[in-house]
């Protein structure tokens, strides 16, 4: 069935280090892959997304890569800061549309000063 797996579930890094979160998806028709950041008690916030016609996208310290053949996509955060600490969710839009998002289970990132 429709599924997005996300790893790791928790990630602890020192300030200034890089963090990488990886996701795999099952629906080969998926064409849109957003990433959300959720701080405790707050709404999920869209931080970056990528569409299937692009292999990589970068926005300042954040980048996302997509490998459609392997059905993998990853979030890369460089020069991490304490304010990057949050839960990060990957998602995939299934069935070739742009409507139904299937989310991963989340990665709790802790950035230690």
Q: How far is the CB of 99 from other proteins (least distance, A)?
A: 5
In the complex with other proteins, the residue whose CB is nearer, 78 or 108, is 108
Q: How far is CA 54 from CA 10, 65, 67, 68, in A?
A: 28, 8, 9, 10
- Which span sits near other proteins by CB under 8 A: 11-19, 58-66, 78-86, 103-111? 103-111
Q: How far is the CB of 34 from other proteins (least distance, A)?
A: 7
Q: Which of 17, 41, 10, 11 is nearest to 113 (CA)?
A: 17
Contact between 105 and other proteins per CB under 8 A:
yes
86: Cβ–Cβ under 8 A, 6 or more apart, which residues? 37, 38, 39, 40, 108, 109
Quote the tokens at residue 107: 């990665």
x/- contact string, 25-64, with other proteins (CB under 8 A)? -------x-x-x-----xxxxx--x-x-------------
């Amino acid at each position: 069935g429709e599924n997005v797996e996300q790893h790791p579930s928790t990630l602890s890094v020192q300030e200034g280090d890089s963090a990488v979160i990886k996701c795999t998806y099952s629906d080969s028709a998926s064409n849109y892959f957003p990433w959300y950041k959720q701080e405790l008690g707050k709404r999920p916030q869209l931080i970056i997304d990528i569409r299937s016609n692009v292999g990589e996208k970068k926005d300042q310290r954040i980048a996302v890569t997509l490998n459609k053949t392997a059905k993998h996509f990853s979030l890369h955060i460089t020069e991490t800061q304490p304010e990057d600490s949050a839960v990060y969710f990957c998602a995939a839009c299934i069935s070739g549309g742009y409507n139904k998002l299937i989310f991963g289970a989340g990665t709790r990132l802790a950035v230690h000063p």
